[in-house]
Amino acid sequence: MVLHLYDTATRSVREFHPARSGTASMYVCGATVQGVPHIGHVRGALNYDVLRRWLVHNGLDVLFVRNVTDIDDKILNKAADAGRPWWEWAATHERAFEGAYDLLGCLPPSIAPRATGHVTQMVEMIQRLIDSGHAYAAGGDVYFAVTSFDGYGELSGQRLDEVQQGETLAEGKRDPRDFTLWKSAKPGEPSWPTPWGPGRPGWHLECSAMATAYLGAEFDIHGGGVDLVFPHHENERAQSLAAGDGFARFWLHNAWVTLAGEKMSKSLGNVVSIEAMLRNYRAPELRYYLIQPHYRSTVEYSDGALSEAAQGYQRIEQFLRRVAGVAGVVHTGEIKPEFAAALDDDLATPKAFAVIHNTVRDGNAALDSGDEKEALHLAAAVRAMTDVLGLDPLSPKWAEAGGSETPSRQALVDLVEGLLNERQMARAERDFARADTIRDRLQQAGIAVEDTPNGPLWTVRDA
């Protein structure tokens, strides 16, 4: 089966083939580094990380660009409110985002270009647009003339007579629907010299310039959150096509994480920070929670749903550890065809996770029946499938640093391990009655204990 992806531009699921044989090119809109990341920010990064891993699994070399918007009104305002230099504020929060991506298992991008490092490319693009009649300068600002581009609105479905850019009115703008490519300098703000006077880039211009600088005039996939469809991606598409670039062949958009039905955002004050989440859940459990739903489905945050996801990850983890304890080293095997079919169907991760959990169930049944060879085979398939999703519990990322316990779970681990040590000592002293009593206490508390050649293995039984 060939990979199919939902393309926002055509509103259809289309068969994906890269423009260049053997190489897939992706540009994903990264963070505007105005503050610390929350789970709404990282959901998209995780979704596109899964897509990237699946493309790599299928033999493609992936050029993956995720930009950093490090100059923006919000950055300037928040830095000023904090009494800190704008560049230091941006750099500090850029590091926070990179740390969150790494903590949750995102592969590093091929490059993470900053907007401030690509003003030259932006100026060149503006000049092309002016020369072709799609942009004009006025009072130190430069605007894109929306009505000059016949395809405006095709990505988002906006009607031209209803377009509102959300920009403040300014003298010299010929049409209120036109959007800003270049902003003239204001006192105290950073600026760069251009033929139209000093100033700084508009948000939409940044991504067009950076995408084509690294991936060429035409590339395979442009990704971002559904909230970026309009105006950001609509304007990116318009200015890029008007400048003569083929630009993105597929437009992908992930849905929001919501709280009480509202998109998570700092302006609404309804954010749940990564730091807060990781006080109670491990990083792979949070990753599981955010990638298990389909990327185009809204995730309504609740602690109950996150707890359920954590238990789902733990069932996979416990199965693999159980097999390793009984049958030895679990190597990575082959993914199941049903799993591949799910991901080829527009990254249907709910179906993919269902295949994994069915395999775990079959593997546990094989162990219970004494068929260690079959259990080992199924465990190898589970490792392969979870590896594609960036969630292999036995990988160094999660088995060591990435899988470190939360304080609450560490307390459980310490308690159970302490009791098991007492049980082992009792058995060594041939005090089997005491050993059985400890085991019974654990079972009554919902802890299943299995004696293996490598020592006792414990798991939390499903409720």
Which pLDDT band holds residue 431 (cuts at 50, 70, 90)?
confident
Query: What is the Cα–Cα distance from 447 to 43, expressed in whole angstroms?
Result: 33
Helices (H), 17-175: 39-57, 73-82, 86-103, 119-131
Q: What is the pLDDT of residue 4?
A: 98
Q: Are residues 106 and 118 in the same domain?
A: yes
Give the model confidence (pLDDT) of 9-53 as tens digits.
Answer: 999 999 999 999 999 999 999 999 999 999 989 999 999 999 999
Q: Are residues 140 and 203 in the same domain?
A: yes
Q: What is the pLDDT of residue 463?
A: 45
Q: Are residues 344 and 422 in the same domain?
A: no
Q: Which residues make beta-bridge pairs with 224?
A: 253
CATH number at 329 reads 1.20.120.640
Higher pLDDT, 149 or 431: 149
Q: What is the pLDDT of residue 443?
A: 81
CATH number at 8 reads 3.40.50.620
In this structure, what DSSP letter does residue 231 have? I
Q: What are the tokens at 187?
A: 């006192």
Query: What is the Cα–Cα distance from 259 to 270, expressed in whole angstroms?
Result: 7
SS3 88: helix
Res. 402: pLDDT tops 60: no
Q: Are residues 376 and 433 in the same domain?
A: no
Domain closes at, from 385, 403, 421? 403
Is residue 193 situated within a structural domain?
A: yes
Res. 219: pLDDT tops 60: yes
Burial 360-369, CB ≥16 within 10 A → b, else e: beebbebbee
Q: Are residues 238 and 357 in the same domain?
A: no
Which of 127-131, 407-411, 435-439 shows the lowest per-residue confidence on average (mean pLDDT)? Answer: 407-411
Angle at 76 between CA 70 and CA 80, to 5 degrees: 135
Pairing of strands 141-144, 262-263: unpaired
C-beta separation of 357 from 403 below 8 A: no
Domain closes at, from 263, 288, 320? 263
Which pLDDT band holds residue 411 (cuts at 50, 70, 90)?
low
Query: What is the Cα–Cα distance from 383 to 403, expressed in whole angstroms?
Result: 15
Domain closes at, from 263, 293, 313? 263
SS3 293: coil
Is residue 297 situated within a structural domain?
A: no
Q: What are the tokens at 349?
A: 């991760």
Tell me the percentage of the chain whose pLDDT exceeds 70.
92
Q: Mean pLDDT, the chain, as a whole number?
A: 92
Q: Write phi, then psi, for 143 (nearest 5 degrees).
A: -120, 150
The residue among 40, 28, 117 whose CA lies nearest residue 71 is: 117
Q: Which residues make beta-bridge pairs with 26?
A: 64, 221
For residue 217, how many other CB atoms are within 10 A of its CB? 12
Is residue 311 situated within a structural domain?
A: yes
SS3 47: helix
Q: What is the pLDDT of residue 442?
A: 81
Is residue 54 situated within a structural domain?
A: yes
Is residue 37 situated within a structural domain?
A: yes
Selection from 257-271, 280-294, 392-406 with the highest mean pLDDT: 280-294
Q: What is the pLDDT of residue 420?
A: 73
Query: What is the Cα–Cα distance from 284 to 398, expressed in whole angstroms?
Result: 7
Q: Are residues 423 and 384 in the same domain?
A: no
Burial 40-57, CB ≥16 within 10 A → b, else e: bbbbbbbbbbbbbbbbee
Cis peptide before 231 (omega within 30 of 0): yes
Res. 338: pLDDT tops 70: yes
Give the model confidence (pLDDT) of 342-359 as tens digits.
Answer: 999 999 999 999 999 999
Is residue 276 situated within a structural domain?
A: no
Could you list the residue range(s) of the whole structural domain that residue 445 is in?
405-463
The residue among 335, 390, 393 whose CA lies nearest residue 107 is: 390
Is residue 284 situated within a structural domain?
A: no
Q: Are residues 379 and 409 in the same domain?
A: no
Taking residues 232-238, what's their average pLDDT? 98
C-beta separation of 37 from 274 below 8 A: yes
HSE on the CB side for 220, CA within 13 Å? 23
Res. 403: pLDDT tops 70: no
Is residue 80 situated within a structural domain?
A: yes
The model's pTM is: 0.88
- The DSSP annotation for 154-208 comes to TTTT--GGG----PPP-TT-SSTT-EEEEEE--TTS--B--TT-SEEE-HHHHHH
Q: How many domains does the chain have?
A: 3
Query: What is the Cα–Cα distance from 67 to 202, expressed in whole angstroms?
Result: 15
The residue among 295, 220, 245, 253 whose CA lies nearest residue 11 is: 253
- The DSSP annotation for 321-347 comes to HHHHHHH---------HHHHHHHHBT-
The residue among 49, 61, 32 whose CA lies nearest residue 101 is: 49
Q: Are residues 245 and 106 in the same domain?
A: yes
The residue among 336, 324, 317, 332 whose CA lies nearest residue 384 is: 332
Q: Are residues 178 and 251 in the same domain?
A: yes
Q: What is the CA radius of gyration of the chain?
A: 26
Q: Are residues 312 and 342 in the same domain?
A: yes
User: 372-388 and 303-327 helices cross at what angle (nearest 10)?
Assistant: 140
C-beta separation of 325 from 454 below 8 A: yes
Taking residues 204-231, what's their average pLDDT? 98
Q: Are residues 194 and 214 in the same domain?
A: yes
C-beta separation of 360 from 383 below 8 A: no
Q: Are residues 190 and 215 in the same domain?
A: yes
How many whole angstroms from its chain centre is CA 396?
A: 20
Taking residues 242-260, what's their average pLDDT? 94
